[in-house]
Amino acid sequence: MDTTKDEFNIPNVIMDPRTRTQYSKGKFLGKGGFARCYELIDTNTGQTFAGKVVPKSMLVKPHQKEKMQQEVTIHQSLNHKHIVQFFSYFEDENNVYIILELCRRRSLMELHRRRKTVTEPETRYFVKQIVEACIYLHEKRIIHRDLKLGNLFLNDQMEIKIGDFGLATRVESESDRKRTLCGTPNYIAPEVINKKGHSYEVDVWSLGCIFYTLLLGKPPFETSSLKDTYSKIRKNDYLIPENRISREVVLLIQRCLRHEP
């Protein structure tokens, strides 16, 4: 068996010790946080997956291990057509591996960079699918907490697949309010910044930011500094240019971006 490793100490052939399935490492897909993603090909069936690889050297502290375990526990409990499918989770001496559905069309971030703006019918098509997945998550008492273009993946049929549950959390009761400051600045809700407690509404806020960004080409609260962005979010200070989008969509965005959800 070829055990040649790359500079990140990832073998060219990886084996799931529980199922004895072997995967050959394909092309590099991207990185985020501690993780790197590669195409992983099942050497028996030829099926290609996305493999999320996290070095154990990055999971030394108890809270890091706990966060990793929570991501796995939440993601493997999900089964929805608009959520990246979770297949397997295992580890070897050096790394933790998460085997996921491969989304060959990358994400809405790449689409946004290529196109700058997306038409209203296209945006409705994408947002409808994101909403369906969010309803499913919230019914299962899960908040994603990091909905953004880069975490909205696309399959060959250009269907949305929500991925990256690294910041997701489970709501234990109706009165359970989370206070962790987390998320991506341009999509983060005021409740999160103020640390006064947040719940499902933070995903709705992010959805409004996604809607706005796709249609108008940039996030509603974007500035050149984090401090100014947070200030605009706290004040709910954003503009929707006149005559650029329909009144119906303007109202939808305004309903998502409310300070009192």
- 22-63 pLDDT per residue, tens: 999 999 998 877 889 999 999 999 999 999 999 988 888 888
Which pTM value belongs to this model? 0.90
User: What positions carry a catalytic annotation?
Assistant: 146
From-to residues of CATH 1.10.510.10 in the chain: 108-256
Distance CA 193, CA 224 (A): 18
Tell me the per-residue pLDDT of 142-179, one tens digit each, with 9 for 90 and over: 999 999 999 999 999 999 999 999 999 998 856 555 56
C-alpha to C-alpha distances, 238 to 40, 90, 169, 223, 229, nearest whole angstrom? 42, 45, 28, 11, 10
**Distance from C-alpha of 232 to C-alpha of 238, rounded to nearest angstrom:** 7
pLDDT at 133 over 90: yes
Which element (helix H / strand E) includes 108?
Answer: helix 108-115
Domain spanning 108-256: CATH 1.10.510.10:
yes
Which of 86, 82, 62, 60 has its CA nearest to residue 73? 86
Q: What was the pLDDT predicted at 10? A: 85
Contact in structure between 133 and 80 (CB atoms under 8 Å): yes
Q: CA-CA distance, 27 to 83, in Å (whole number)?
A: 23
* 3 vs 36: CA distance, rounded Å: 18
Let me know how many helices (H) and strands (E) the chain has, helices first.
7, 10
CATH of domain 13-100: 3.30.200.20
CA separation for the pair 83, 133 (Å, rounded): 7
Q: 56 a known binding residue? A: no
Domain with CATH 3.30.200.20 in the chain: 13-100
